[in-house]
Structure 1
Amino acid sequence: MAVAVAVTVVTAAAVAMLCAVWPWKSILVEDVMTLLCSISEETKMKAALKHSGTSALVTGAGAFIGGLVGGPPGLAVGGTVGNILHISRTRGQLKPIPEIIKELKPAEQQKLYNEAITILGDLKCMDPKELTKHVMSNENLKQQLLVMLENYITKQLQAEV
């Protein structure tokens, strides 16, 4: 019985030492993705693909055709119809960030994890719930992760947050 207790104490001490040296080893990719989903869900972050060029083109074409057919009033009506047409075509493309994170390929999740771990790197070993609780209660850490996530989505996924 004493041997089992000694082995447990030694094992716990070894894990604590590893956590102090390599804190990121205990934080799994899935744990960081769950954390990022929680943070972005709390702020209700959403992203959309950029369609501003397409919107201008469709609106302009509608205004041009309306202007040819109906003169000045047709110009206004055609532009409005073109804009409504574009909006109806792109509806539903605004996605919550947690959904986007969950749909990332493993290689993309690894890239996102690597960026997040540079921010989380000085944390000691934590289970996923403890990690999320710690980050959610630390506004500075949460803000750093939100900025990193927004930059990642904007640059890597070429979406607009």
Structure 2
Amino acid sequence: MPVDARELMEAISIIANERNVRVTMKQTCKGAMVCAASAFTGGLLLGPVGLAVGGTAGGLMAYKMTSGSFRPLADVLLNDLTDEQQEQLVRHVNNAVAEFEISDLAVLLPLLMNNASIQQAVLKTAITFVSNELKMQIID
């Protein structure tokens, strides 16, 4: 029985959820810049008190700007990838587990759920794929 892409994607998603891997849409830098600019401006205008006020105001603005941009990797894998991208990821995962000589889904899924080294290889492949192909940053 060949490896079914959908079932493999669900297995990868389970592993990503267990490890609490999240992705961001490159909003972290923007939030940090807003926070720093607010603290700087507050410091110039009000001195040390302005640093605290500006930093707090900037932190709140950064929170509002980036709210919702951090998502679980599992959600991205199951909902955001096109069929072509899912097939491409499955090929990458198959290449990653090739050293374990697994070509049957009935063998792969139990091994994937119980073998830490296979989980690490598959998760690393998924993270690399999402980072390179989707240009998302990974948060562990």
Shorter-chain TM band: 0.7 to 0.9
Distance 1:36 1:160 in 2: 18
Query: Could you list the runs of 5+ residues in structure 2 that have no partner in the other structure?
Result: none
- 2:22 and 2:73 in contact (8 A); partners too: yes
Match of 1:37 in 2: 13
Q: Which has the higher contact order (CA 8 A, sep 6+)?
A: 2
- Segments ≥4 residues shifted beyond 4 Å: none
User: How far did residue 64 of structure 1 move?
Assistant: 3.6
* Aligned mates of 2:51, 2:103 — CA distance in 1: 63
CA contact (8 A) 2:22 2:72 kept: yes
Is 1:79 aligned to 2:55, yes or no?
yes
Worse-superposed segment, 105-114 or 57-66: 57-66
* 1:114 aligns with one of 61, 69, 91: 91
Q: Which structure has the larger Rg over C-alpha atoms? A: 1
Return the letter of the residue paired with 2:39.
A
Q: 1:47 is paired with a residue of what secondary structure?
A: strand
* CA offsets 1:84-134 (integer angstroms, 9 cap, x no match): 21112211221111111112111211221110111234214234xx53222
Task: Write the letter of the residue equivalent to 1:35.
Answer: A
Alignment of 1:136-151 (within 5 A): 136-151=113-128
Matched letter for residue 145 of structure 1: V
Gaps of 5+ in 1: 1-18, 20-25
Match of 2:65 in 1: 89
Deviation at 1:68, TM superposition (A): 4.3
2:42 aligned residue:
66
Residue 155 of structure 1 is matched in structure 2 by: 132
Distance 1:160 1:90 in 2: 14
For residues 83 and 107 of structure 1, what CA distance do their matches in structure 2 show?
39
What RMSD, in angstroms, separates the aligned Cα atoms of the two structures?
2.0
Q: Determine whether 1:102 maps to 2:81.
A: no
> Is the alpha carbon distance of 1:87 and 1:79 closer, same or farther for their aligned partners in structure 2, counting shifts above 3 Å?
same
SS in 2 for 1:56: helix
Provide the TM-score with structure 1 as the length reference: 0.73
**TM-score, with normalisation over the residues of structure 2?**
0.82
The AA in structure 2 aligned to 1:75 is: L
Percent identity for Structure 1 against Structure 2: 25
Check if 1:131 corresponds to 2:111. Answer: no
